Structure 1
Amino acid sequence: MSEADGTAPARADCVADSAGGLTFHIADGARPAPGGHDDWSGALVLLRRGAADAPDGEVRLPLGPTADGRLQAALPSTVALPEGRWDVHVAYGDAEPRRLAPGLNDLRSLVDRRPGPSTSPLSVRIPYATKHGNLSLRSWRRAPHAEAGEIRLGDDTMTVRGRLHRVAYPSDWLAEAVVEARRRGGTAPVRTAPLEVDGPDFSFTLSYPELARSWDGGADVWDLWLRPADGSMAPARLARILDDIADKKEIFTYPPRTVTGPHGEVQARPYYTRGNDLAVRIEASV
């Protein structure tokens, strides 16, 4: 019982499609408007966390009845949903929006998703349950996008395979491109490594000792990007978003490797950030 009036919140089932759209079915708590049994009114309200008052911080989707008496709202991939975390509500008339609880999710179309050729931004929306038992969405909108795949760890290296999406000619974009490791805070030179390219697919190997050369205590985080040779084209952030897992940081974990830095031994390991971007962490050995 999480509502102020002591009633349990309505639950919403989510169905994802391969284009990046979502359909919401309110499984309970739906009610017709006062105009009559067949007169329905209401909206599914998405509020971007930390930006609800911003011009692009709210999205309202009309609710309509289905044949089985539930309410339904559609969020097609063509609706531009800025990146972030969106809390899902239902609202009727002038009443305040109320949070929805997660129901059953059918996210099979998101598993190993392979977007078709396009230069429009890639839309990814993954519903999930918050720690308080509410329904929220994690949204990404990227062009270009570099999807990270298999990560293999050597004694002092990491090798990453991936695929480039949302550029007109992936193999041309990747030709002479490099992977770029950028230390957060911008207090060290950018480290680069070459790519091996096969059409839209790429791979690269990063040296942990090379990253550790700048370590002087504490923890360093290096964010990974693909940078094309043509400086007029935007770089692509390495991330893993084309599946059904909203938060990968605690699920995809990799063992650290011990390497020698200028100030002693350090541990290096890849990890996914809270935004599912790929990074490398360098810190003192335990």
Structure 2
Amino acid sequence: GRLRRRPDRRLVVAASAEAPARPAAHCVATADGGFTVALTPAEPGDLVLRLRDDPEGRQLRLPLDREGRGTVSRAEHRLAEGRWDAYVTASTAARARRLVAHRVEQAALVGAVPTVGEDGVTSWIPYTTKEGNLTIRTWRRPAHAEVADITLDEESALVTATPHGPPAELALAVRQQEPDVLDFTIPLRVLPTGRVLLTIPYERALAAPHGRWNLLIRSTDGTLVPLGRIGGDTVDRRRTDLYPMVTRGESTLLLGYTGDNALVLTTAPVRTKDTPH
């Protein structure tokens, strides 16, 4: 007769031996720039936010109610700049476990501007990591210039920004090239609205050594203020805020954002078929 393959009993795992489901949460950004968290399924416990890669090991612990709900308000809490990973200590497990983002609603942040107060310039954006977990991206700095508009004309790139900090004096493009720091000045004009207009001539930018240049505003007191877009609901603008590449002669110029939403200017040789990638 025909041989019949018997199932390998060693591969059968009892359901009771499976790892318990990881805790999940529904997170909603609030109008004040904070956020609410609701565990699913509902159970009491503590929300624990840990600042990623922090030598000081800073964390924030917030008790949740009986339904597993809590609010982290901007008025009551100060979070240092960085990425705060969310964990939960539930009643059924004392050890803090990474919190899965069941759903993150950011509608309240659409079009929002950074908050300016005694704590400096701040912004919080809850988001889902690529692993599916809940993290809060925060910015907190004493001064900042929020990019409002970028226009490319025939001769120059025009950047309009709202400065938060000491009065602006001039703008700089700065590049770290060990052991030196290179820079060149960018014309800056203060507009009647209080915003500033940076005019970046292509010829001047492409005359400098090729590379990635950080864009900063220098205030009258010498403070260097970073330019970027930290407001709104977008945690990483590298793939959403895109601008055309400018080609002049054998060189290219491109404005864009870093993974921290800082505005940068990148210049490079024109790529040809023979250019190594």
Q: TM-score, normalised by structure 2?
A: 0.82
Q: Does 1:181 align with 2:166?
A: no
Contact 2:256/2:265 (CA < 8 Å) preserved in 1? yes
Question: Does residue 48 of structure 1 match 2:59?
Answer: no
Quote the offset at 1:126 in angstroms. Answer: 0.8
Taking the aligned partners of 1:82 and 1:156, their CA distance within structure 2 comes to 40
2:148 paired with 1:149: yes
Q: Which amino acid aligns with 1:118?
A: G
Match of 1:82 in 2: 80
Letter paired with 1:18:
A
For the residue of structure 2 that corresponds to 1:127, the secondary structure is: strand
**Aligned mates of 1:9, 1:189 — CA distance in 2:** 49
- Map of 2:119 onto structure 1: 120
Alignment partner of 1:225 is 2:216: yes
CA contact (8 A) 1:156 1:259 kept: no
Cα pair 1:45 1:90 within 8 Å, conserved: yes
Change (3 A) 1:148 1:5: farther
Amino acid at match of 1:275: D
How far, CA to CA, are the matches of 1:145 and 1:198 in structure 2? Answer: 19
Higher relative strand content: 2
Aligned residues: 251
CA distance in structure 2 between the partners assigned to 1:46 and 1:82 by the alignment: 11
**Mapping of residues 223-262 of structure 1, within 5 Å:** 223-231=214-222, 234-260=223-249
SS of the residue corresponding to residue 131 of structure 1 reads: coil
What RMSD over aligned residues (CA atoms) do the two structures have, in Å? Answer: 2.3
Is contact 2:243–2:254 with CA below 8 Å preserved after alignment? yes
Which residue identity does 1:281 align to in structure 2?
T
- In structure 2, relative to structure 1, the CA distance for the partners of 1:118 and 1:57 (3 Å cut) is closer
Q: Cα distance, 1:156 vs. partner?
A: 4.2
Q: Which of 187, 196, 204 is the matching residue for 2:190?
A: 196
SS in 1 for 2:19: coil
List per-residue Cα deviations over 1:92-148 (Å, max 9, x = no partner).
Answer: 367221111113333222122245763432221111111111111211112322110
The 8 Å contact of residues 186 and 199 in structure 2, kept in 1 or not, is answered as no
In structure 2, stretches of 5+ residues that fail to align are 1-16, 272-277
19, 37, 40: which one aligns with 1:6: 19
User: What CA distance in whole angstroms lies between the structure 1 residues aligned with 2:121 and 2:183?
Assistant: 30
Corresponding position of 2:29: 16
- Deviation for aligned residue 1:56: 5.0
1:203 Cα deviation after fit: 1.6
Structure 1 residue 212 displacement after superposition: 2.0
Q: Gaps (5+ residues) in structure 1?
A: 32-39
Matched position secondary structure for 2:136: strand
Classify 1:50/1:117 alpha carbon distance in 2 versus 1 (closer, same or farther; 3 Å).
closer
TM-score (norm 1): 0.79
Distance 1:184 1:279 in 2: 13
Query: Per-residue displacement from partner, 1:152-208 (whole Å, max 9, x unpaired)?
Result: 11234211112123x4xx7xx13xx21211113344233232223224322221123
Decide which structure has the larger Cα Rg and report it. Answer: 2
Residues in 1 aligned to 2:57 and 2:152: alpha-carbon distance in whole angstroms: 41
Relative to 1, partners in 2 of residues 1:73 and 1:162: Cα closer, same or farther, differing over 3 Å?
same
